[in-house]
């Protein structure tokens, strides 16, 4: 039997507190693991994502990302958490590049605050009526803000502006209704947000797992897509938003969005390692 070391880190922690943010399992060396074993390990840990570090000729590492059910081309908190582990393994320093299915993702650090540069983004209009979307979120049509969009800055998700923080707190997706509103990869992922100040927002993210809809405590890919929404809406640049997420899940999280003057999207958050172990296979 072989030993396979892993680490547990929390990403987008709030105030550096260990038991906040979004948990991630990172396998340090997955060169000997098959795709089927990676998928099975992701199900074993049953976190929103598990990542696997592989050798890369020209970059710090090649990274594969798995949910308990499928592989993902890109996700935000796995990118930042894996970069944190790569630095500790001496695969890179405070500035490194990770090769993922979505492309090469630049990541940099200032202490334990990590920042990724998202892939270039695209967007398309939502073809569902506002009333249908509101019903899927169990909200009133008046709660839906201007121009919900499908945005892709690595992974396509539905970005929905709401008219108040109260509407964000009241969002409770209807599984059957939301299942009819699907992304390009046939998933019903939705990110709702409302500004609660000039440079701050409250957000929530819901995603499918089997026949249920779960809530993510902190979603870097959706934060990048929020940046894409800001570009689509032609908001004045640069954009800087401090985002609170995860309060309703008991995992308060802090995420930081920047869209710079070159229209490049950056997502930042603090990473804390909380444990290490090995799996024998």
238 and 218 together in one domain: yes
Say if CB 6 and CB 25 are below 8 A apart. yes
Above 90 in pLDDT, residue 77? yes
Q: What is the pLDDT of residue 208?
A: 80
Q: What is the arithmetic mean of pLDDT over 84-103?
A: 96
Q: What is the pLDDT of residue 5?
A: 98
At residue 82, the 3 state secondary structure works out as helix
88 and 126 together in one domain: no
Using one digit for the tens of pLDDT, what is the confidence trace for 20-65?
999 999 999 999 999 999 999 999 999 999 999 999 999 999 999 9
Q: What is the pLDDT of residue 146?
A: 95
For the packed helices 76-88 and 220-232, what is the interaxial angle rounded to 10 degrees?
130
Cα distances from 226 to residues 15, 151, 172, in angstroms, run 22, 8, 20
Q: What is the share, in percent, of the chain residues with pLDDT greater than 90?
A: 96
As for how many domains the chain has, the answer is 2
DSSP assignment letter at 260: -
HEC-encoded secondary structure of 18-86 = CCCCEEEEEECCCCCCCHHHHHHHHHHHCCCCEEEEECCCCCCEEEEEECCCCEECCCHHHHHHHHHHH
62 and 126 together in one domain: no
Q: What is the pLDDT of residue 212?
A: 86
Q: What is the Cα–Cα distance from 33 to 27, expressed in whole angstroms?
A: 10
147 and 93 together in one domain: no
What's the CATH number where 76 sits? 3.10.310.10
136 and 24 together in one domain: no
95 and 66 together in one domain: yes
Using one digit for the tens of pLDDT, what is the confidence trace for 147-171?
999 999 999 999 999 999 999 999 9
Using one digit for the tens of pLDDT, what is the confidence trace for 206-265?
988 778 889 999 999 999 999 999 999 999 999 999 999 999 999 999 999 999 999 999
Q: What is the Cα–Cα distance from 32 to 251, expressed in whole angstroms?
A: 34
State the chain's mean pLDDT as an integer: 96
Catalytic residues: 49
Q: What is the pLDDT of residue 210?
A: 74
7 and 136 together in one domain: no
Above 90 in pLDDT, residue 99? yes
Q: Give the structural domain span for 95.
A: 3-117+269-280
Token reading at 203: 């957000």
Say if CB 152 and CB 184 are below 8 A apart. yes
Token reading at 39: 């998928």
Token reading at 110: 């200032």
Alpha helices in 73-163 (DSSP H): 76-88, 130-136
Q: What is the pLDDT of residue 211?
A: 81
Q: What is the arithmetic mean of pLDDT over 189-216?
A: 93
């Amino acid at each position: 039997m072989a030993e396979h070391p892993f680490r547990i880190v929390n990403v987008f922690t709030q105030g550096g507190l260990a038991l906040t943010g979004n948990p991630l399992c990172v396998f340090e060396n997955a060169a000997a693991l098959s795709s089927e074993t990676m998928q099975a390990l992701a199900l074993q840990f049953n976190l929103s994502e598990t990542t696997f570090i592989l050798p890369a000729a020209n970059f710090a590492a090649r990274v594969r990302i798995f949910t308990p059910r499928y592989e993902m081309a890109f996700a935000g908190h796995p990118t930042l958490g894996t970069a944190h582990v790569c630095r500790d393994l001496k695969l890179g320093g405070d500035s490194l590049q990770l090769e993922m299915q979505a492309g090469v993702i630049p990541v940099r650090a200032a202490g334990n605050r990590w920042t990724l540069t998202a892939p270039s983004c695209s967007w398309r209009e939502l073809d569902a009526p506002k009333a249908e979307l509101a019903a899927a979120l169990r909200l009133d049509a008046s709660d839906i803000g201007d121009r919900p969009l499908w945005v892709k800055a690595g992974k396509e998700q539905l970005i929905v502006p709401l008219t108040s923080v109260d509407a964000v707190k009241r969002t409770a997706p209807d599984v059957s209704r939301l299942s009819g509103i699907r992304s390009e990869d046939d998933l019903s992922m939705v990110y709702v947000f409302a500004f609660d100040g000039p440079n701050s927002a409250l957000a929530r993210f819901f995603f499918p797992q089997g026949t249920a809809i779960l809530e993510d405590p902190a979603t870097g890919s959706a934060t990048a897509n929020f940046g894409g929404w800001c570009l689509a809406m032609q908001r004045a640049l640069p954009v800087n938003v401090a985002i609170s997420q995860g309060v309703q899940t008991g995992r308060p999280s802090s995420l930081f969005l920047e869209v710079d003057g070159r229209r490049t999207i950056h997502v930042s958050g603090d990473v804390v390692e909380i444990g290490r172990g090995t799996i024998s296979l």
